[in-house]
């Protein structure tokens, strides 16, 4: 019986302190702008003015926008490898999950570290669509290069050494570039 190859990784930002400060600051600003906006709306009931309505709508609108977008300040990436298929997802504040896609590793034309000569050749190709699915610039980054429907694509991510070793087993011959 064949053994399944499965590995799941979650990439989190190494600089969580600054990320948390910005998140809590956004929550505070959201609360303050909502209170000011609703106070202005209630004062409009006493004496209506178009300028007051516009300013109140701007405060309430910014509070709503912060409410809808503040979870994106705490972003993580999830890589799931299952028998040659690699699934990518973006996770916001450990609550919302957005699937980024699935890739068959056997369809990859080139894979290797970002600090390699192969990456420098590929990254300068005209018409290349680049997707950065990593958080930590100082981490060991790897790239996948593939073509799909005549579009040239490259994905840059930060897998662990164990996941890189597992990916190498499923790559086509000559696809790994050091």
CA angle, residues 25, 31, 33, in degrees to nearest 5: 100
% pLDDT > 90, the chain: 71
pLDDT band at 1 (very low <50, low <70, confident <90, very high): very low
% pLDDT > 70, the chain: 98
Q: What is the mean pLDDT of the chain?
A: 92
The predicted model scores a pTM of 0.81
**Which pLDDT does position 2 carry in this prediction?**
56
Gap between the Cα atoms of 82 and 3, Å rounded: 11
**Structure confidence by residue, pLDDT tens digits, 100-137:** 999 999 999 999 999 988 899 899 889 999 999 999 88
Q: How far apart are the first and last CA of the chain?
A: 33
**Which pLDDT does position 162 carry in this prediction?**
95
Region of residue 124 (left: phi > 0; alpha: psi -120 to 50; beta: else): alpha
The sign of the dihedral angle between the CA atoms of 10, 11, 15, 21 is negative
Nearest Cα residue to 101 out of 120, 128, 140, 129: 129
**Structure confidence by residue, pLDDT tens digits, 57-90:** 999 999 999 999 999 989 999 999 999 999 999 9
């Amino acid at each position: 019986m064949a053994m399944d190859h499965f590995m799941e990784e979650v990439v989190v930002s190494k600089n969580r302190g600054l990320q948390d400060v910005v998140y809590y600051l956004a929550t505070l600003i959201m609360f303050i702008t909502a209170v000011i906006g609703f106070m202005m709306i209630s004062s409009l009931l006493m004496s209506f003015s178009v300028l007051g309505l516009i300013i109140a709508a701007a405060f309430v609108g910014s509070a709503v926008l912060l409410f809808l977008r503040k979870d994106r300040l705490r972003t993580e990436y999830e890589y799931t490898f299952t028998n040659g298929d690699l699934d990518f997802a973006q996770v916001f504040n450990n609550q919302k999950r957005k699937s980024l896609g699935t890739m068959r590793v056997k369809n990859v034309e080139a894979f290797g570290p970002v600090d390699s000569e192969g990456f420098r050749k590929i990254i300068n190709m005209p018409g290349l669509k680049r997707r950065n699915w990593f958080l930590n610039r100082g981490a060991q980054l790897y790239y996948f290069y593939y073509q799909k429907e005549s579009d040239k694509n490259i994905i840059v991510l930060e897998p662990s050494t164990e996941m890189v070793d597992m990916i190498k087993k499923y790559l086509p011959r000559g696809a790994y570039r050091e």
